[in-house]
A and B are shown apart, each in its own frame.
Chain A
Amino acid sequence: EDKVVQSPLSLVVHEGDTVTLNCSYEVTNFRSLLWYKQEKKAPTFLFMLTSSGIEKKSGRLSSILDKKELFSILNITATQTGDSAVYLCAVEGLNGGATNKLIFGTGTLLAVQP
C-alpha cells in the first residue's frame, strides 16, 4: 500500500532556529515529490522534486530528495513567526489511468515562537 510518512508530527522552535522536516515514502512508480505550506486555509505549493541530490531553494527554504533511501527533507533556516504552518509532503506516482495518483502525508505542524 502506498504511504507517505512525515516527521515530526509537530515542532515548536524559537525565531532564528533552523528546522528540518522529514518525509519518507513508499509509493509505486514514483514520479515526483511535492512540498506544500498550509497556513490557515489552502495549501500553497513550495517545491517539486524529481531527481536525487539536487537541492531546490527558495529564500530560507530548501529541499532535497533521496530516491535511493526514499525520503526528502525540507529545511528552513533563520525561522520567523510567519513560517508557522503545517507543512505537507505529497508523492506523485504513476496510476496507469488517465491521471497520476498523489499521496499526501499527514503534515508537520511547525510553530515558531518569538
Chain B
Amino acid sequence: NAGVTQTPKFQVLKTGQSMTLQCAQDMNHEYMSWYRQDPGMGLRLIHYSVGAGITDQGEVPNGYNVSRSTTEDFPLRLLSAAPSQTSVYFCASSYFPAGRPQQTQYFGPGTRLLVL
C-alpha cells in the first residue's frame, strides 16, 4: 500500500496561473479532504468528498475547485493562483463510518506551493 500520495512535492507559480494538485489513495477510503497549513493558522479544511461524485466545501474553499470521479483520486485545482494561496497543502483520507471520517485520518506528504 502506498497510502496517500501527492504530487508535486513543491511548485512555484506566478499570479494568475492555474494548476492542479494531485492526490491519490489506494486504501479504498470513501472520505477524502484537502487542507492548507499556514503558520499560526493550523490546518484548515478547503474541500472534502464523502465518495465518488460527491464533494462539498470546507472552511476556506474560495479559489479552489475539486472533483471526485473515482474513489482513488481527489485533485485540487487552483484556477487563478494568488499570493494568498502560498501554503502547504495536505490531502487526507479515511474510512467513513456513520458520518465520522475524521477518525484515524491518513495524510499525504504535502505539497509546498509558492505563488509569486
Set of chain B residues within 8 Å of A97, measured between Cβ atoms:
56
Docked pose: A88 CA to B92 CA in angstroms: 15
A41 an interface residue at 8 Å Cβ cutoff? yes
Number of A positions contacting B (CB below 8 A)? 23
| Contact A42–B102 (Cβ < 8 Å) | no
Say which one of B63-71, B73-81, B107-115 lies at the interface with A.
B107-115
A104 and B42 contacting across the interface, CB-CB below 8 Å? yes
Report whether A99 and B107 are in contact in the complex, using a CB–CB cutoff of 8 Å. Answer: no
Q: A43-B107, A44-B107, A45-B105 are in contact. Are A104 and B48 (CB under 8 A)?
A: no
Count residues of B near A (Cβ-Cβ below 8 Å).
27
In the complex, what's the smallest C-beta–C-beta distance from B98 to chain A, in angstroms?
Answer: 10
Contacts of B100 in A (CB 8 A): 31, 92, 99-100
* B31 adjacent to chain A (CB < 8 Å): yes
* Neighbouring B residues of A32 by C-beta, 8 Å: 102-103
Tell me the nearest residue of chain A to B45, going by C-beta: A102
In the bound complex, residues from chain B placing their C-beta under 8 Å from that of A42 are 4, 90, 107-110
User: With A48-B104, A100-B99 in contact, do A43 and B90 touch (Cβ < 8 Å)?
Assistant: yes
Q: Which residue of A lies closest to B104 (CB)?
A: A45
Q: Which 5 A-B pairs have the closest CB atoms?
A: A42-B107, A104-B42, A104-B43, A106-B42, A41-B109
